[in-house]
A and B are shown apart, each in its own frame.
Chain A
């Protein structure tokens, strides 16, 4: 079982909907990440939170809005997504130093109708 928990596992939404992806870790990690992964491609970094502050935004469109309520939780708010946003969304966490490995959750499979 993964120590990074993501919900929901699957999500289908229309282009006008608003939804949120959730991620939780209880490993005491201080850095959390959102990635997007398309089929047969490597994970693509979207956001990094370090000590609950946004430290990296990889020029992600504003229809994706991250939130880090506390050191264990990470949300990704979705609004007015496009069909090309359909992908596997992965959350990861690490101890906070860039030298430490990142541990991934099982992901949320998102489909935009």
Chain B
């Protein structure tokens, strides 16, 4: 059973701080890694994709991938109250199939 684990949270940070969200996965042949943001009652919204080891930055968001450790993370710099949401880590399973395996999500609250 392919698994994706996220720190269960909830995670609470003050406005302006760095929020760090972590994810580990069990399938060594996974190739693609995604972070989705989901506001309460809304659908998941893609915020980051990462495919190779290292860091990928997009605005206030940085995704980090370490395939040797089977670990992917998302850093949110200068956190804003509007970042308060559940963050879902998703990993392509079975190396190239269309199936994504989702973690259970980490609920982030940014306090003003």
A-side interface residues toward B, CB under 8 Å?
Answer: 2, 31, 33, 41-43, 45, 48, 50, 55-56, 88, 90, 94, 96-107
Contacts and interface: CB of A to CB of B under 8 A. Distances in A.
Interface size class of B (residues with CB under 8 A): 20 to 34
Dominant SS among interface residues on chain B: loop
Contact of A104 (B31, B44, B94, B104): B44
Given A42-B104, A43-B44, A99 B99 contact: no
B44 A50 contact: no
Contact of B102 (A2, A42, A88, A106): A42
Given A41-B104, A42-B105, A98 B42 contact: no
A54 to B, nearest CB: 12
A97 B95 CA distance: 10
B21 to A, nearest CB: 14
A43 B96 contact: no
Given A99-B51, A101-B34, A106-B42, A42 B88 contact: yes
